[in-house]
Homo-oligomer: A and B are copies of this chain.
């Protein structure tokens, strides 16, 4: 990670791809689902729900945090994670725009 690097791709595509990528692992989808169902919870609780070790789960939590899809706040020894609702909404909107932008008429040549 350094000084911006002349963009190969359009900013919007880049951002959307980044978000999709963050969703591109079942563990991360499951984490989002679980966090939403509990509204918020601790690392340990999340780990118990997943078929992965704690440090791996922590790594996935970091991925989600990097993508701004979740937030965490320290509470004593524990860390309380929760879904970043506004970012989820933003992602939904961007996704919708993208799919709508594909003026997908069924192709007859293929």
Residues of A within 8 A of B (CB): 8-10, 13-14, 16-18, 20-30, 32-33, 36-37, 39-40, 51-52, 71-73, 75, 80-83, 85, 88, 92, 95, 98-99, 101-107, 109-110
A20 touches which of B23, B30, B81, B82 (Cβ 8 Å): B23
Copies of this chain in the oligomer: 2
Q: Within the assembled complex, what's the spacing in Å between the Cα atoms of A16 and B68?
A: 20
Q: Within the assembled complex, what's the spacing in Å between the Cα atoms of A3 and B87?
A: 38
A27 touches which of B9, B29, B102, B106 (Cβ 8 Å): B9
Beta-carbon contact of B99 and A83 below 8 Å: no
Q: Within the assembled complex, what's the spacing in Å between the Cα atoms of A104 and B92?
A: 13
Beta-carbon contact of B17 and A25 below 8 Å: yes
Q: For residue A89, which residue of chain B has the nearest CB? A: B104
